[in-house]
Structure 1
Amino acid sequence: MIVEELAKFLINLKYEDIPEEVINKTKLCFLDFLGVTNRGFHEESSQIALETINQFNQKEGKCSIIGTGYSNENIHSNTHMKANHHANPSSNEYSNSLNAGFLNGISAHALDLDDGHRIAQLHPGCVVFPSALAICEEKNLSGKDFLEAVVCGYEIAIVLGKLVNPSHRNQGFHSTGTIGTFAAGSTVSKLLDFDLEKTIATFGLCGTTAAGLLESDHQGTMGKVLHVGNAVHNGIFSSFLAQKGFSGAESIFDGKEGFLKATSKEDFNEEYLTRYLENELGKFHIREVYFKKYPFCRHLHSSIDATLDIKNKLFNNFNIDDIKRIIIKTYKIAAEHDNFNPKTKEDLKQSLPYSIAIAIISNDMTLENIGNIDFNSYYFKNILEKIVIEIDDEFESLTPDYRPSKVIIEIYSGNDVEIVEKIVKLPLGETENSFSHNDIIEKFRLLNPNFELGRLKSIEKIESYKIRDFMKDLF
């Protein structure tokens, strides 16, 4: 069964087996994660999550657990009910591994600036890093342990994502939530040094708790980030259950009613799955992860890049009133992000017309600048009215290897109409069009202007730290 091969990979991979370039990419992903998450914590969704966690930790919330003999006693994450059921709870209980992982997962995804993989169609970093940090801090593990587990988590996420997508996504599942649960559980089981039996049980439990529907994403709700928090939480919880002997189905992936049958229309026979894992597992797919420059859904980035390129070619020397039309030809999934009337901040991040209108008004696509734009102004509404979105069959045939877009801007020039266009097949930040270490540092700075950037140098020598000490020194 597929679960056994995945489990053996996790158990057998050692830090010493990981190529230096993969370690360096992992550190770059961590740098990106820290910048995005540190800023994302201040988003409304993260603050609501924190408030809710604290609400459940209040002393006055006394509920019975039937059969314990301790009716109406408080249950706290840092106490053993039978041995110490009168212990006082910590004042910052949200920092236990479950709560910290849950909250960091939400913060990591809240800005829509976290890393991703275009073929797997998911965001691995926002589930893997919160899981790894929570366990490494709780167990006082080393930087080597941390990096080793992160590479494992990314590998499981991407290999499974590539296996089930695009069918899984087209069925309405948010892969970061569903596949992300397996990635989180993989990361934790690696750090807890599970044997084959416990690792398989973890996968089984992760599979039956995995969740995430794209309806939450595309309706512009906070449910999108909840998928990530839940993936981390369920991955951690599943691992600790398995550690205690809680059983999970070893056929969770390829069983008659398993994950593959339930969430994908593809027909995965045993021969195909065996061959797929032989070709894909252990290739260190973290090398293929992209980074994001704009706080919008990744499917919009090619169109944004094309628009900004046209503006630069014109030296920004045109009057918005002179624009006749803005035509965006792109692939189906991107074109379906055609909301001309977003209601929330989350909704805005999924809107292709709004992202293009912002790019036309300003070259500055930072969070601060976007927050200062008057979306009810004449200029903004004028631009929106001129945007036309079309599905291009040729571009559709290029997906998922490419995410192409062609932006055509028609501009009145006297009695004539000047046409300027640009095709972008892959947006900035893909490995074929990559960001440098300095680019990610600059992204960190823009998101966290008051942070002392010199402290980030410790990431380069994270192997020499205990992660608990590393995080204390960093923040």
Structure 2
Amino acid sequence: MTGLVQRLADFLVELHYKNIPNKTLDSAKQCILDSTGNMLYGCCTAVGEKAKAHIKAFPGDAKGSLVFVPGGDSFPADDAAFISTLMARSSDLDDGHRVAMGHPSSFLIPAVMTYGQVMNANGKEMLTAVIAGYETYIRIGETINPSSYRERGFESTSVTGSVACTAALGKLYNLDAAQMKDALGLAATFTGELIEYQNDGSMGKVLSGAWAIRNAKMSLQLALSGFTGPEAIFEGKKGFAQAFSNHPKPEKAVAELGSVFKISEIYFKAHACMRGLHCAIDAVLDLRERFHLTPENIDSIIVYTTPFVGRLSKPCPRTEISAQNSLEFTMAVALKNGHIASERVLAAAMKQSDVFATAQKIKLVMDPEVSAFVQAHPSCWGSVRVSVGTKDGQTHETFVSLPRGEAENPFSWEELKQKFCRMTENTPYQPYASELAERLAHFEELSAPGNLYHPWNESRITHNRRSSHKKGR
């Protein structure tokens, strides 16, 4: 009987742009738009600068052609991939999947855009590679989650991401079915990362994607050199699903493979913080708008939830990454500002004593009713009921089970383009954000998508616009 990894490899090798449904292509372009905005934002952040400084201090192999990264600098491909994925992750606004967990765009889009430049891939080829990566990520993630992340403490972005990134790069490098099987098997064999960083706000969070890309590139090269991977890596007694999950479901890797494309289940973020906090933030923003709440007229806030959300109780975060993982602090920031549109909002709030004072008003209660709801609806793991008491004696309450941006409550193309334009503010790309967003929305028409990172100017845009018009005649 053919193993699961070979069945997945066969699907990936036979995946061609012309056979992909339009809805799936549309979802992939939304993922590219959203992640590119995150990368452009990241090129002007402290994390982005730290990534470039690290590479300059410890450069990798300088052989081969240079490729562009967000901001317009050029580096050898492996170094460029490292820099780009840290830029993509720095904003904490990257997409995700609520069953597979983690954030696939933070490494898949940087990897495809980087190595796509190396391979001179066009828009259609890159789109196909992106879809291959997302399909692999979600399917493999569902074999081990939510227990791998929630109960065992494994970081899905890296654990599952290594395998998914291998699938995407395997498409770009045109691996055959045997090579793809071996590359996937090797990537799954050597993957891993822990989420202990959530407890102290250290920087493992922004490095997750870099590990996934590095593992994927090595696995691909080994497979091309004839090294083999396990035949039963996903379902074996000592395999991936058994090792990383308390409740392994290896059959999920190939369920409805080829007939259902799961990339359309991806969510997009409105708030620059951990996804597990978004229901609570949406709840407090809803009450803020409906009842004109301010930090000054609030007496108390009670969040009724589950231990999974409750573990994020950190009313006094000490680092920006810790702030991104703090329930009380992010709710207080949202209540004051009406949004958490970027990590800069959180960074500024770290210096505001009134935000910390509001955070102290927020109390958590582990609620049996909310727990029962989550048990009946496991994918709604961020569910909360929020009750706000005001100083005039009134109480306002709301329940949120799914935040904005989920497939059941999606952002429109226009909303995603608006987010993209916000992400380019204070970057070299701000004057051309709308033009760039439109080009990304028609990604399949681009002959050299990697050149989007090249420093832009008006003459360049005009030339590209004329070229596109000529092509369409």
- Fold in common (TM above 0.5): yes
Equivalent residues of 1:325, 1:410 under 8 A apart: yes
Q: Which moved more, 1:247-256 or 1:218-227?
A: 247-256
1:374/1:177 CA distance change after superposition, 3 Å = closer
Matched residue, 2:178: 197
Structure 1 position 422, deviation (Å): 1.1
Corresponding residue SS for 1:214: coil
Please give the residue correspondences for 1:144-223 in structure 2 after superposition, counting only pairs within 5 Å. Answer: 144-169=124-149, 170-223=151-204
Q: Provide the aligned C-alpha RMSD in A.
A: 2.4
In the TM superposition, what whole-angstrom CA distance separates every residue of 1:253-287 from its partner, at most 9, and x where no partner exists?
Answer: 2233221222112255xxxx457623356511110
Residue 311 of structure 2 is aligned with which of 311, 336, 339? 336
Structure 1 position 447, deviation (Å): 1.7
CA distance in structure 2 between the partners assigned to 1:54 and 1:247 by the alignment: 34
Matched residue, 1:50: 52
In the TM superposition, what whole-angstrom CA distance separates every residue of 1:143-195 from its partner, at most 9, and x where no partner exists?
Answer: 11111111110000001111210121121100011000101000001111111
Matched residue, 1:409: 388
Structure 1 position 76, deviation (Å): 3.6
In the TM superposition, what whole-angstrom CA distance separates every residue of 1:338-382 from its partner, at most 9, and x where no partner exists?
Answer: 0122111111000000011112222132334433336452x3233
Corresponding residue SS for 2:256: helix
Matched residue, 2:371: 396
1:457/1:468 CA distance change after superposition, 3 Å = closer
Residue 436 (structure 1) aligned with residue 412 (structure 2): yes
CA distance in structure 2 between the partners assigned to 1:388 and 1:281 by the alignment: 46
1:325/1:461 CA distance change after superposition, 3 Å = closer
Q: Which moved more, 1:45-54 or 1:141-150?
A: 45-54
Matched residue, 1:360: 335
In the TM superposition, what whole-angstrom CA distance separates every residue of 1:406-432 from its partner, at most 9, and x where no partner exists?
Answer: 11001121xxx2110111111011111
Matched residue, 2:261: 284
Residue 351 (structure 1) aligned with residue 335 (structure 2): no
Larger-Rg structure: 1
Corresponding residue SS for 2:192: coil
Corresponding residue SS for 2:390: strand
Q: Which blocks of at least 5 consecutive residues in structure 1 are unaligned?
A: 59-74, 80-87
CA distance in structure 2 between the partners assigned to 1:274 and 1:365 by the alignment: 39
Matched residue, 2:64: 78
TM-score normalized by the length of structure 1: 0.87
Equivalent residues of 1:178, 1:210 under 8 A apart: yes
Structure 1 position 391, deviation (Å): 2.1
Matched residue, 2:90: 110
CA distance in structure 2 between the partners assigned to 1:276 and 1:188 by the alignment: 19
Corresponding residue SS for 2:304: strand
Equivalent residues of 1:445, 1:451 under 8 A apart: no
In the TM superposition, what whole-angstrom CA distance separates every residue of 1:28-65 from its partner, at most 9, and x where no partner exists?
Answer: 1111111011112333233222212122239xxxxxxx
Matched residue, 2:18: 16
Equivalent residues of 2:142, 2:252 under 8 A apart: no
Give the letter for the 1:299 counterpart. G
Matched residue, 1:246: 227
Corresponding residue SS for 2:196: helix
Structure 1 position 471, deviation (Å): 2.5
Q: Which blocks of at least 5 consecutive residues in structure 2 are unaligned?
A: 457-473
CA distance in structure 1 between the partners assigned to 2:22 and 2:356 by the alignment: 50
**Aligned length in residues:** 439
CA distance in structure 2 between the partners assigned to 1:32 and 1:24 by the alignment: 12
Equivalent residues of 2:8, 2:253 under 8 A apart: no
Corresponding residue SS for 2:394: strand
